[in-house]
Structure 1
């Protein structure tokens, strides 16, 4: 029997106790900045050393002590193609643990509003482009990150199950490829864009004659600045309610080759770019249909070139402190 309640989304109370899970990560830190800028006065965050979200007993104790009223679930184990393909069991297990623990504890204390943030990798490898929310579970996943995708799909279904069983107006959002300040620029664990920024910047500094990227450069990807996804996250919490997840993106894409050319130009690298076609390309194209998000009144504000320039500046300012 469904326990679904009628709920009309509205502006969140700026004094409400808001827990941002993963507040030091790429997405979580952007959400934290956005909430602070919007006047929220009772934000709650814990680093992974302070609270291991894989530790079920510790998570339940935290929720019982803090009693958050609103939760942004941005915590996750994330990585690029190499990391996902090398450690699929870790990506599946750890993300399931994080999601189950946080959501189960949130149910126990009656969290009234929760946003689960997933990833566009939930969609089939050959989904029709642009990808609508309805494409979920309609085809085989990309093999290089299927374990991570399954974990995120489970998160969507958990939100839907909580809505049906407990009547809590929780929602899910699936962002496209994200980038910006606070990204993971490590050589083995980063996504395509931060990996490129590091690669081209190091080539510029060393005077390398060429940079080699994985694949053919042909696949097309959509990129969204983290400050935009933070804006969209708050907007959805205040403007959307529904069991179906919402795509979050720009609705436009570029080829990996075009991205490489843009990064090289912005960092000032003048050497050659080569492509290692023995390495996997991943999904041929991944462009989200964002008409549902736009229908709620939200649009991105940061153009790719502008976002790339600010991200390169941030990388240069923080490179000494980043993971290698």
Structure 2
């Protein structure tokens, strides 16, 4: 504000000079000329002459960059470093937007994590653990038993099919149905009474893209087995020959593996469902140098889609 005080003082001096000169010019004309002279003497670097939005940007950067004012012959001046200040302002805005976006994404991930845990806990409450299952009992028979308590969403029999007793997880649509299923403990299923307890884990969901999509594919699943622990040195032709000799005609076989796991897996589709049932008894037999494990397949072996050649 020193510049304003300087203007007022020089204006007072000018008025005194007007009173002392008898043949002076009119007061308005003389005052305008003196104001022009005074404005040309002002310091353009004073705070009053720098726009507020530029001063805030400069203060935020600890006055690292100051605008340079270049005087011209006509008394006006140009500000050359304001574009740099505008660049700094845009960079600061971009950084603030990035921080805001990152915090939003973190909040969304936290929300998704809480939602996933809540869904998993709900699934655990709707699931029961069944043990002491006869090796001849199928998942369909087990699901039929528990369907008397409510709608069964999923049923998974686990364990080595070659062992005498296995265990399973049964998931219901409602938590109250799962509680009612606990009363089925001691029910004879096959040659053994089953034990039913609340589950501590949820059933791992299956990718729906691999599940049967039609009645034909469901029928294919009844003729298909899932074979694991296959020696990597065994070829697809050897796997097919093994199951055809032991079980029956194989119509389709898919042998899968990677560089991470030490063994491979296979989906074997037979011409008849009876051959698939016989193949379940092949668990424990040695193929190559490893004893294989065979279980019913939940997914059909779909034919590979051949892509047309690129023109």
For the aligned pair, the TM-score class normalised by the smaller chain equals under 0.3
Higher relative CO (Cα under 8 Å, sequence separation at least 6) belongs to: 1
Structure number with higher strand proportion? 2
Normalised by the length of structure 1, the TM-score is: 0.20
Larger Rg: 2
Normalised by the length of structure 2, the TM-score is: 0.21
